[in-house]
């Protein structure tokens, strides 16, 4: 008889709390699906940005390749490169504090 009482108690608990468990499970599943969708959307955005950067990098590389092949033969390009190199060197010196300190760190 105790087995029957245990079964009836389990059935009563299932009837009483089962709908709450089903509702909580449904909410959890909905949240998981929405979260998965959000992660998927973010992953797609990151992939699109990465592809844009890759295309930009390829374009820059092709321009630099073309530029480097012409630079050796064109004096105007050589002059531009020389000026850019001088400006870069001057900017580095300004960042390091005009060379006041041998370590590049000013007190």
Give per-residue pLDDT as tens, 41-68.
999 999 999 999 999 999 988 888 887 7
pLDDT in tens, 74-86: 888 888 878 888 8
Domain encompassing residue 46: 2-94
| Distances 37 to 22, 24, 25, 48, 56 between C-alpha atoms, Å | 22, 20, 18, 16, 29
Is 80 contained in some domain?
yes
DSSP state of 101: S
Is 59 contained in some domain?
yes
Is 105 contained in some domain?
no
Is 107 contained in some domain?
no
Is 70 contained in some domain?
yes
The pTM for the full model equals 0.43
């Amino acid at each position: 008889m105790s087995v029957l009482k245990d079964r009836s108690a389990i059935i009563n608990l299932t009837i009483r709390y089962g709908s709450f468990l089903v509702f909580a499970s449904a909410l959890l599943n909905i949240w998981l699906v929405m979260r998965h969708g959000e992660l998927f959307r973010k992953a797609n955005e990151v992939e699109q940005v990465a592809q844009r950067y890759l295309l930009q990098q390829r374009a820059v590389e092709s321009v630099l390749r073309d530029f480097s092949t012409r630079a050796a033969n064109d004096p105007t390009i050589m002059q531009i490169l020389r000026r850019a190199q001088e400006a870069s060197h001057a900017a580095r010196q300004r960042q390091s504090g005009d060379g006041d300190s041998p370590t590049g760190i000013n007190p």
